[in-house]
Amino acid sequence: MTPLSAPGPAELYHDLQGLESVKRMDRDQSVAEVARQFEALLLQSMVASMRAAGDVLGEGGPFDSSEARFYRDMLDQQLTMDLSRRGGIGLAAVIQRQLDPAAALDEVRPAPAVVPVRAAVAAPPAPPSEADLAGEGRSGFVSRLQPLAERTAAELGVSAELLLSQAALETGWGRQVLRDGGGRSSNNLFNIKAGSDWQGPVVTVPTLEYRDGVAVREWAAFRAYDSPEASFSDYAELVRSNPRYQQALAAAGDDRRYIEELAAAGYATDPDYADKVMGVLERGLAAARSEP
């Protein structure tokens, strides 16, 4: 038999000292743990909502008692804590990236990529394609996309390093490229959303958006492409053709001003988006290129 390991922080539903133990962790571990516990709370809320809907049908039944509901809720809370500890639904990875910009440079714990719970376009399961960047590492991500970044940068008047940094932040160096229900990569390297004018395929995933400075969990549809090349081309076309990005385009000679204007025009709702991109540009790229 495999011995049972001692429970870690907040792995039991009644562990009221779980957050206290987080204080004794280093910064990277604590951010990952807080993200996991937040995901567990969300899962508990989802299960409780489903139970409440089912209670209407079970009124007057043999399990319709306060005692039965008490023990059922204990079980639900423990199950959701255990589910979160074993990988959850992928939301913890998204929360961790929002809490700690450095998580976009190098993931602390092996959390899954943002895997869509549902997809707008169904697709059969497929093995990773040649366009899949997930297994190439940071240095492979940079070398693979460098020619595309240089070509697109020349079209927009920005630096190739800025575009690589933006794609690295959006995708976690290729490890969190959005996927459809069959696991096929969307090749969306800039996380461009699919508006009503988009006629191509999409993937629909949970995302965190900032509304009046508050992070809100929403479902959003994102564009899907046949290749990374198509993603870079569509990004350039979006920036050139959308009137709201013209101030960013006018500032293209200055990387910081360009990304600040792009964010201010609504490209991203994260108030720290420009600083995060520049952080990757100023620190992450050099480290990535030095990797074997």
Active-site residue set? 209, 234
Q: How far is CA 211 from CA 208, 214, 263, in A?
A: 10, 5, 14
Burial class (CB in 10 A: 0-12, 13-18, 19+), 149: buried
CB distance 105 to 287 below 8 Å: yes
Q: How far is CA 4 from CA 8, 110, 189, in A?
A: 12, 21, 41
Bridge partners, residue 185, by sequence: 179
Bridge partners, residue 206, by sequence: 219
Residue 277 carries which side chain, given as an amino acid letter? V
Cα separation, 144 vs 158, whole angstroms:
19
**In the numeric block, which tokens belong to residue 276?**
């995060």
Picking from 181, 182, 174, 164, the residue whose alpha carbon sits closest to that of residue 132 is 174
Residue 242 carries which side chain, given as an amino acid letter? N
CB distance 146 to 165 below 8 Å: no
- 157: phi > 0 → left, psi -120 to 50 → alpha, else beta; which? left
CB distance 197 to 82 below 8 Å: no
Task: Give SS3 for 284.
Answer: helix
